[in-house]
Amino acid sequence: MKVAIVKYNSGNSCSVAFALERIGISALITSEIDEIKTADKIIFPGVGEASSAMKFLRDQKLDKVIVGLKQPVLGICLGMQLLCEKSEEGNTDCLGIFKQRVLKFSEENKVPQIGWNTISNLKSPILKNVKEMEYMYFVHGYYAEKSVDTIASTNYGLEYSSALQKDNFYGVQFHPEKSSDAGQKILENFITL
């Protein structure tokens, strides 16, 4: 199986690659369009800032490539947010797979949210054998609103989408690669979709 991790200007692509290595998958970290198009599974990771990440994707013409993919795609953290319609971070137009907006957390709570929080109302093959109220590791200052595509919710001052799915596109706000054994389970589920 060929698994491609989309490389862009900011990101923790090697953390994701290491997590895949731990489950026996050797992934390719690449921004080459042909490599991405021909992969069986694509992971779109991300740590960084929305507007500069989108600019990079547009400059490399990766934006249209990602939107056109038919094979399973998993956006992680910023990667998931970039798959949404629009982000309040840098007032950025994103890829528009998921129709909700990405908004900044109100500062009634500490922002960014950093640490372990629970996911609930789980519904997707990618969350198979993950228990309700399982802890996942989150690091983010912006959140995706809830919608029909929400497959897991988390509460941080309000309920938001901690995972999304529409057709072949999956997104998780938390970092499965850093969420201990439960996170590893989600990566395994994605790889075996």
Question: Annotated catalytic, 84?
Answer: no
**Is residue 153 a contact point for another protein (CB under 8 A)?**
no
**Is residue 34 a contact point for another protein (CB under 8 A)?**
no
133 exposure class (CB count in 10 Å sphere: 0-12, 13-18, 19+): exposed
Question: Annotated catalytic, 77?
Answer: yes
Binding residue count for another protein, defined by CB under 8 A:
40
**Is residue 177 a contact point for another protein (CB under 8 A)?**
yes
Question: Annotated catalytic, 175?
Answer: yes
CA-to-CA dists, residue 135 to 118, 163, 182, angstroms: 4, 13, 8
The answer to whether the CB of 95 falls within 8 A of the CB of 83 is: yes
**Is residue 139 a contact point for another protein (CB under 8 A)?**
yes
Distance (Å, rounded) from C-alpha 163 to C-alpha 173?
6
Of 51-70, binders to another protein (CB under 8 A) are: 52
CA-nearest of 31, 30, 28, 9 to 20 is 28
Residues of the shown chain interacting with another protein in the complex, contacts defined by CB under 8 A? 10, 12, 14-15, 18-19, 21-22, 47-49, 52, 78, 107, 109-118, 135, 137-141, 155-156, 175, 177-181, 183-184
